[in-house]
Homo-oligomer: A and B are copies of this chain.
Amino acid sequence: MGVKKVVVAPESGFCYGVQRAMDMVERALRNGQKIALLGPIIHNPIVIKQLEMQGARIIEKVSEAKDDEIVFIRSHGVPPDIYEEIKKRNLRYIDATCPFVARAQRIVREMSQKNFQVVIIGKKHHPEVVGLRGYAKDPVVVTEPFEVEKLSLKNKIAVVVQTTFRKDVFEECLKKMMEKKFEEIHIFNTRCFTTDRRQEEVKKLSKYADMVIVIGGKMSSNTRRLYEIARKYGKKAYHIEDIPDIEKEWFKGVEVVGICAGASTPFWLVEKVVKWIKKEVKGNAGEYTVTNV
């Protein structure tokens, strides 16, 4: 007995937008630039610590930035007044807004200018949603389907969704929207397709493996979502941030270990966990495979 196989979900690790932002900040730091990260670049404490060690500094407001610092806008994006504040202070900035988020921002601005009532489906305090709201006049944010019922909306409605929002809840919200009175409703599915793929993979992996380890920040909503799916469809599931969170107990009677990671988890951390299992857990894990099950 013991672990015979470790399977890593192929979409594990940084999504496109986060990878892009990471590349941008690391390039800037290598060039010796002083970077003020406007909010943590990703929900991963390990990565944030590394960036800080390389000289980046986290700020909460533009007003905290020093005159010689470059303000770094993370992949989540920011509302337009942040750009105005940056320009007013004559600060330099790097805009790492994820292109998928930027598309949603553009849609919100355009539809609002055309006098559509903008409805954003997403978590009210998620930085991406806070950003999106800034591009509309009187936008409405909906997180749960039941909230749709109470809304009083204009005749012309435009709907966008947080890029990392749950597909099933999004669908339920839309169905509730169909019960509203409207003349026109334009729905833009701004969810990022990598979120779907990642979730699909974890679902399959959970059914296949004896246990699933989800790696990612405890604050990361997309990682938590993966953990929820793994718990729902799998036999056992654990959510860890790093090696010290792992308990050897978990591996009792486990032959196949599934591993996946949130969009804000660097792939080297996934590799570190795999190596740890091969070394510390009894069994013959052999080579790990990054594969679709």
Contact = CB atoms under 8 A, between A and B. Distances in A.
Interface in A151-177: 171, 174-175
Nearest to A190: B183
Contacts of A188: 183-184
Contacts of A189: 182-185
A174 B184 contact: no
Contacts of A243: none
A106 interface: no
B186 A186 contact: yes
Interface in A172-217: 174-175, 178-179, 182-189
A175 B178 CA distance: 6
Interface of A: 171, 174-175, 178-179, 182-189
20 contacts: A171-B178, A171-B179, A174-B178, A175-B175, A175-B178, A178-B178, A182-B187, A182-B189, A183-B188, A183-B189, A184-B186, A184-B187, A184-B188, A184-B189, A185-B186, A185-B187, A185-B189, A186-B186, A186-B187, A187-B187
